[in-house]
Structure 1
């Protein structure tokens, strides 16, 4: 390891893949491991960007978990498409690492839906007998907070971000049902 940023990147990547940390937590933990004296200030440009971390995580998974990565991505895509079909009335988009072909054993499905109120989405889950937890989380694309619903879908942890209709311009930041369906179909054709 030649410099602080590379060291942070390697530790951060391992924490994300092997221990399930999110990007922010992993960077903080890696920083405290390398500079345990909290009084020492480290410039933010000495830390890897989220894009650099994502690239490193992808490379790590391909190097050490290639077959498992492909199987997990395909499995989680199928879970996601099933949930998105259930939530079709709310214009769901798949976001997060799975939308970028990254999945670890700790991956949480992250889906954005658009409605006038999160209560509409909550009522839909109640109608299909899915227990949910109402959460206040950071908006997936902005700094403000939004309501989200945490639940289990087919045995897997899910977070559904409830965004207002004004945020529909964000659809390009995720995968729509049609796009995800096309990816799944292409994968099936490629495996034949």
Structure 2
């Protein structure tokens, strides 16, 4: 081993250890405090751990993997029930919103939903007011905000978001134009097209044998 090689190996090991520590702490913060944004969670975790090196920040996918492991170790009894409750609520809401071709996205689809998680749906209408009117006509009060979704570095449009509660569960509806059905926005975790499930696909996911791994269940349902 050359004279300078040992310090480089030591520095690399320390970097990897810090990435793991930050990912685990970010996962804990997301699970216990309801932080939904990966970037915010990793910065807060690094601050809490006193790690100042930006190269030690884990990728979003590493945090998601740590979150799954945290849930398996510490929430093995409760998280699967919370997930199924939200998937069943999503299925019912998608039937209610059938005219807007809803797609389930986010933690409820991906399998990481917990007590803090909203049921996130993409609904499609060239007139967002039509979705709002439909909710009002059915006696559902809602709040509005906007969300920016990314299709590429230069294509990041903003869409209206409708927030409401049903059966004590939070719902989050992003209203996109109908032609957005053809191309999914990029996922914040791995920068790939976001996975989306139709009502039929979600129904299949709920029917999957719980003995299968999450990835097996999801890949089968989304074929």
TM-score band, normalised by shorter chain: 0.7 to 0.9
Q: Tell me, in whole angstroms, the C-alpha distance in 2 between the residues paired with 1:145 and 1:119.
A: 15
State the secondary structure of the residue aligned to 1:173.
coil
For the pair shown, the structure with the greater C-alpha radius of gyration is 2
Q: 1:162 aligns with which of 163, 169, 175?
A: 175
2:161 maps to: 148
What is the total number of aligned residue pairs between the two structures?
184
* In 1: Cα distance, 2:57 partner to 2:159 partner: 27
Q: State the 1:46 CA deviation.
A: 2.7
Structure 1 residues 134 and 80, CA, compared in 2 at 3 Å: closer, same or farther? same
* Unmatched 5+ stretches in structure 2: 1-12, 185-193, 213-223
Q: CA RMSD in A?
A: 2.2
Which of 21, 34, 38 is the aligned partner of 1:20? 34
Partner of 1:118: 128
Gap regions ≥5 residues in structure 1: none
TM-score by length of 1: 0.86
Instruction: State the 1:170 CA deviation.
Output: 3.7
Contact 2:24–2:67 under 8 Å retained in 1:
no
- The answer to which structure, 1 or 2, has the higher relative contact order (CA under 8 A, 6+ apart) is 1
| Equivalent residue in structure 2 for 1:66, among 63, 72, 76 | 76
- Could you state the TM-score of these two structures normalised by the residue count of structure 2? 0.75
CA change 1:154–1:140 in 2 (3 A) is: farther
CA distance in 2, matches of 1:52, 1:141: 22
